């Protein structure tokens, strides 16, 4: 996400930090580089022009000229301007109402049906809501089946009446939700290959019946600047409350994210960060600005850990580690906790300073993680608790059972022993584990 733009801007920031003074000449050179970087990221030309003019004006202001570290002040100016460009404040999802009604719209291929499942999962976990998914895409082949499958995977009920009239489906779904205690209704609507009057009329009719608290447009970030026309086209007729950008984890330059708020006056409420059903996150302009210029996003990392990690289990493991009682069963439990957080390389990018340390390009082999898990699962409970009993014959059995080699088994055992030694050393130095 924004990888190329981020690399370019971080390089520029580093260069300008070396200047003892910011002048018309050197700031002009920097602004040309920033302008080019933004244009290459597919940011709208009008947006780029206004952004660079604003940054230049403030960089040549009195605050910067009198500063002992003008480079640092310049970085702060760029970060603040990026934050404003991205929307300024976070625009939270409406969750008040009994029930709260959220309607998702968009073109075919935008990832709307998958996104509505992700959103239902999020409001259930974060907002403690009981969601109901409503299948109103009666035109796309297998759309209803797809939503039902998503609902099954998540354990979330799907209301469907097959190929009935979408307006009637919504009306019946509202009644069903009130009778059965559902407090968050998410309506999956039909899409088209392009905006047409029939589509808009149907969506307007659904709005009249549902009176949704949120009307969110799901848009494919890989569309580039064409996305702006699509957003405006839907907004003119439906009065959208926000936008969800999908596929920002793919090969996209991300320029549309920097253009949406400025050109449409609509907030980005969520972004899709992976294909998994937990691969959606709230959009915070300030956090995204920090990530773009290499300052990391610790708040998002902390929130993710807090939402996914079992605190009691983590505390239990920490106590065992501090006492030297950590075994392979505990190690396996830790691996499973880490897996919940998603790809490790994505987490690393949230930590400030990873680029300087060369960690931003780190590649974590998921196969290695699977091999470790398979090896431990091939052990008996006794072997996991006491790895010292693992002699040659047992190792051969474990390697065969896990589809690995004896060498990989030995590697894991050696790494585990080294980790235990390190824990003991820390404990001997009176290092306090968080309890």
Q: Which pLDDT tens digit goes with each residue over 368-398? A: 778 888 999 999 999 988 888 999 999 999 9
Q: What is the pTM of this model?
A: 0.69
Tokens of 113: 């049906």
Q: Are 28 and 77 in contact (CB under 8 A)?
A: no
Per-residue pLDDT tens for 321-361?
556 567 888 777 777 766 666 655 555 555 454 454 444 55
Q: How confident is the model at residue 62 (pLDDT cuts 50, 70, 90)?
A: low
Q: Which residue has the higher pLDDT, 161 or 423?
A: 161
Answer yes or no: is pLDDT of 172 > 90: yes
**Distances, alpha carbon 233 to alpha carbons 160, 215, 217, 226, 320, in Å:** 28, 14, 11, 11, 58
Q: What is the mean pLDDT of residues 110-119?
A: 93
Answer yes or no: is pLDDT of 401 > 90: yes
- The hierarchical CATH code for the domain 100-293 is 3.40.50.300
Residue 235 is predicted with a pLDDT of 93
Element holding 244 (H helix, E strand):
strand 242-246
**Distances, alpha carbon 189 to alpha carbons 107, 192, 205, in Å:** 10, 10, 12
Answer yes or no: is pLDDT of 297 > 90: no
Rounded to a whole number, what is the largest CA-CA distance in the chain? 75
> How long is the chain?
435
Residue 433 is predicted with a pLDDT of 42
Task: Spell out the domain ranges in the chain.
Answer: 3-85, 100-293, 305-428
Q: What is the mean pLDDT of residues 408-432?
A: 71
End-to-end CA distance of the chain: 35
Q: CATH second-level architecture of 305-428? A: Orthogonal Bundle (1.10)
Superfamily classification of domain 3-85: SRP54, nucleotide-binding domain (1.20.120.140)
The residue written with tokens 């009065």 in the block is: 239
Q: Which residue has the higher pLDDT, 225 or 145?
A: 145
From CA 235, how far away is CA 265, in angstroms rounded? 10
Quickly list H helices, 155-293: 166-179, 197-210, 226-238, 255-264, 285-292
Q: How confident is the model at residue 431 (pLDDT cuts 50, 70, 90)?
A: very low
Residues 6+ apart with CB under 8 A from 432: none
Residue 89 is predicted with a pLDDT of 86
């Amino acid at each position: 996400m924004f990888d190329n733009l981020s690399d370019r801007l971080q390089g520029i920031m580093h260069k300008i930090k070396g200047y003892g003074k910011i002048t018309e000449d050197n700031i002009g050179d920097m602004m040309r580089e920033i302008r080019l970087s933004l244009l290459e990221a597919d940011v709208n030309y009008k947006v780029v022009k206004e952004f660079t003019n604003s940054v230049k004006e403030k960089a040549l202001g009195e605050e910067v000229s009198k500063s002992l570290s003008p480079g640092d002040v310049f970085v702060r100016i760029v970060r603040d301007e990026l934050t404003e460009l991205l929307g300024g404040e976070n625009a939270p999802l409406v969750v008040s109402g009994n029930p709260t009604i959220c309607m998702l719209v968009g073109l075919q291929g935008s990832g709307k049906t998958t996104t509505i499942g992700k959103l239902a999962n999020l409001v259930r976990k974060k907002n403690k809501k009981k969601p109901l998914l409503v299948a109103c895409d009666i035109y796309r082949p297998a759309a209803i089946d797809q939503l039902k499958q998503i609902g099954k995977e998540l354990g979330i009920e799907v209301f469907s009446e097959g190929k009935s009239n979408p307006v009637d489906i919504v009306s019946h779904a509202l009644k069903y939700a009130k009778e059965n205690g559902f407090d968050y209704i998410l309506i999956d609507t039909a899409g088209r290959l392009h905006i047409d009057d029939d589509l808009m009329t149907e969506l307007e009719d659904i709005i009249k019946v549902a009176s949704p608290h949120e009307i969110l447009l799901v848009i494919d970030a890989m569309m580039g600047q064409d996305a702006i026309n699509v957003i405006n086209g839907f907004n003119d007729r439906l009065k959208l409350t926000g936008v969800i950008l999908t596929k920002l984890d793919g090969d996209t330059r991300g320029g549309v994210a920097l253009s949406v708020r400025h050109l449409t006056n609509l907030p980005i409420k969520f972004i899709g960060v992976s294909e998994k059903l937990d691969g959606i996150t709230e959009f915070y302009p300030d956090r995204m600005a920090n990530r773009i210029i290499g300052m990391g996003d610790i708040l998002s990392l902390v929130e993710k850990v807090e939402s996914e990690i079992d605190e009691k289990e983590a505390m239990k493991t920490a106590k065992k580690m501090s006492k030297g009682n950590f075994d392979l069963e505990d190690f396996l439990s830790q691996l499973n906790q880490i897996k919940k957080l998603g790809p490790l390389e994505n987490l690393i990018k949230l930590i400030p300073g990873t680029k300087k340390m060369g960690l931003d390009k780190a590649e974590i082999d998921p196969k290695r993680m699977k091999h470790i898990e398979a090896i431990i699962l091939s052990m008996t409970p006794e072997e996991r608790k006491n790895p010292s009993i693992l002699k040659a014959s047992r190792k051969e059995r474990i390697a065969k059972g896990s589809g690995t080699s004896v060498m990989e088994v030995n590697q894991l055992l050696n790494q585990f022993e080294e980790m235990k030694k390190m824990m003991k050393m820390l404990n001997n130095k009176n290092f306090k584990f968080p309890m």
